[in-house]
């Protein structure tokens, strides 16, 4: 039991190499126990140790290849064949194919990362076999008081040459891929940063254009009739198809005009917006303000951002002009220019989701403050394989 626990700890504390690929040595003990005590204890040890890796990597994809390794070793023990020979053959054939199938089918890592992980498993498996075989000899002497059947000198020399060449080739290929991946990830990070800055600039222009139009309305405001005010709003709205609704109020927050004009007919008792933040903030700050994202009421039930500009006449507050911005406009910025797996998320200043690409499966206004994604956005020390590009309003 203590050896099983030690195997689990060996996998819980892997030897890190680079993102998503670390060497784990729990199967060293599983191989040794299989050789000395049989397949049952070896299989249990391998499965338990491999399942522990879920705590670090969030998947069980390491279980099958290392379990099959133990089964090959058990077969060799039963048939009096060499575990080192057939174990090595397993890893460069069926073992590598198993890892490739699992990681290419069930992960969305970069292609070069998947290739490196396959090679890593082969190297890791070879190391486990070599150390496990040596450990089995020690356990046999310590526990059973006898030496395992020794290898003939010729077999030992042949195996040493084969394993040395195999290990050298795969290790060199692995570290070459590691370097290539780092260069590729660095290039992708640069491309994503440029794309993110470009989208952020477009978003700023989106808000700035609407704000300028409302400021013109506010500067040219006069106490005209409701029909005239409605016409002025319609002229501006036609220049901004992304405006869902618009309204104008007096200094008390009473709505005096709206776009579309028919909304005035259904306002009813909800003719005053003095309680809304976009009115209060514009009045107190005497400058244009952008509200938090909220669910509209009275003038529709869309999720919106309100842009409001105060009307100042004779140095006194005289009301506001407000436009409700259509947040679906962000879908136009959600492009796959760099990679098909590229996604986008737009957050407000409270770190709530304003827009997100559909593959992310995030809810509107979902708080991202404590999410791993936001922590990466705030401090991108690790380049994620999903290549998430994010901007903050």
Of 18 and 138, the structure prediction assigns the larger pLDDT to 138
pLDDT in tens, 303-319: 778 899 999 988 899 99
Q: Is 300 in the same domain as 259?
A: yes
Q: Is 195 in the same domain as 217?
A: no
Final residue of a structural domain among 290, 305, 328: 328
User: Is the pLDDT at 19 greater than 60, yes or no?
Assistant: no
Q: What is the pLDDT of residue 339?
A: 65
Q: What is the pLDDT of residue 297?
A: 60
What CATH number has the domain bearing residue 312? 3.30.450.20
Q: What is the pLDDT of residue 72?
A: 95
pLDDT in tens, 203-214: 788 788 888 999
Q: What is the pLDDT of residue 299?
A: 52
Q: What is the mean pLDDT of the chain?
A: 80
Final residue of a structural domain among 328, 351, 384: 328
User: What is the rounded CA–CA span in Å between residue 113 and residue 24?
Assistant: 17
User: What is the rounded CA–CA span in Å between residue 113 and residue 176?
Assistant: 12
Q: Is residue 156 domain-resident?
A: no
Q: How many domains does the chain have?
A: 3
List the end-to-end C-alpha distance of the chain, in Å, as a whole number.
55
Predicted TM-score (pTM) of the model is 0.53
Q: What is the pLDDT of residue 136?
A: 86
pLDDT in tens, 79-106: 888 888 899 899 999 999 999 999 999 9
Q: What is the pLDDT of residue 41?
A: 92
**98 close to 71: Cβ distance less than 8 angstroms:** no
pLDDT in tens, 251-277: 999 888 888 877 776 665 557 889 888
Q: Is 290 in the same domain as 369?
A: no
User: Is the pLDDT at 392 greater than 60, yes or no?
Assistant: no
Q: Is 386 in the same domain as 272?
A: no
Q: Is 24 in the same domain as 50?
A: yes
**113 close to 8: Cβ distance less than 8 angstroms:** no
Of 337 and 355, the structure prediction assigns the larger pLDDT to 355
Domain, as residue range, for 285: 213-328
Q: Is 7 in the same domain as 144?
A: yes
Q: What is the pLDDT of residue 389?
A: 40
Q: Is 13 in the same domain as 136?
A: yes
pLDDT in tens, 183-202: 777 777 777 778 778 777 87
Final residue of a structural domain among 308, 328, 348: 328
Cis peptide before 260 (omega within 30 of 0): yes
Of 76 and 383, the structure prediction assigns the larger pLDDT to 76
User: Is the pLDDT at 393 greater than 90, yes or no?
Assistant: no
Q: Is residue 22 domain-resident?
A: yes
Of 190 and 77, the structure prediction assigns the larger pLDDT to 77
Q: Is residue 180 domain-resident?
A: no
pLDDT in tens, 207-238: 888 889 999 999 988 877 778 888 899 899 88
Instruction: Give the DSSP letter string of 9-42.
Output: HHHHS-EEEETTEEE--HHHHHHHHHHHH-HHHH
**217 close to 236: Cβ distance less than 8 angstroms:** yes
Q: Is 196 in the same domain as 218?
A: no
């Amino acid at each position: 039991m203590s050896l099983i626990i030690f195997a689990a700890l060996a996998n819980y504390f892997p030897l890190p190499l680079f993102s998503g690929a670390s060497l784990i040595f729990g199967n060293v003990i599983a191989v040794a126990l299989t050789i000395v005590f049989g397949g049952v204890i070896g299989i249990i040890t391998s499965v338990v140790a491999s399942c522990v890796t879920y705590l670090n990597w969030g998947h069980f994809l390491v279980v099958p290849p290392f379990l099959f390794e133990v089964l090959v070793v058990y077969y060799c023990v039963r048939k009096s064949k060499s575990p080192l020979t057939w174990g090595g053959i397993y890893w460069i054939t069926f073992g590598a194919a198993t890892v490739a199938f699992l990681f290419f089918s069930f992960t969305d890592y970069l292609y070069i990362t998947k290739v490196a992980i396959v090679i890593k498993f082969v190297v890791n498996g070879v190391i486990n076999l070599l150390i496990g075989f040596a450990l089995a000899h020690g356990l046999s002497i310590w526990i059973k008081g006898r030496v395992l059947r020794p290898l003939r000198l010729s077999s030992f020399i042949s195996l040493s040459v084969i394993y040395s060449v195999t290990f050298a080739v795969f290790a060199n290929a692995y570290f070459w891929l590691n370097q290539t991946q780092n260069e590729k990830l660095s290039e992708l990070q640069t491309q994503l940063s440029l794309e993110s800055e470009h989208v952020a600039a477009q978003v700023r222009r989106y808000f700035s254009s609407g704000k300028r139009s409302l400021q013109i309305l506010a500067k040219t405001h006069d106490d005209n009739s409701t029909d005239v005010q409605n016409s002025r709003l319609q002229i501006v709205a036609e220049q901004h198809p992304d405006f869902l609704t618009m309204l104008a109020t007096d200094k008390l927050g009473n709505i005096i005009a709206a776009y579309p004009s028919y909304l005035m007919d259904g306002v009813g008792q909800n003719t005053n917006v003095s309680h809304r933040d976009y009115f209060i903030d514009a009045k107190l700050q005497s400058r244009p303000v952008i509200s938090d994202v909220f669910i509209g009421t009275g003038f529709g039930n869309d999720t919106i951002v309100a842009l409001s500009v105060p009307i100042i006449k004779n140095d006194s507050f005289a009301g506001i002009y407000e436009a409700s911005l259509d947040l679906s406009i962000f879908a136009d910025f959600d492009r796959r220019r760099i990679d098909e797996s590229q996604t986008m998320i737009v957050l407000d200043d409270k770190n709530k989701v304003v827009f997100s690409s559909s593959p992310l499966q995030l809810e509107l206004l979902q708080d991202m403050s404590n999410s791993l994604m936001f922590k990466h956005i705030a401090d991108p020390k690790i380049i994620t394989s999903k290549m998430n590009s994010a901007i903050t309003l």
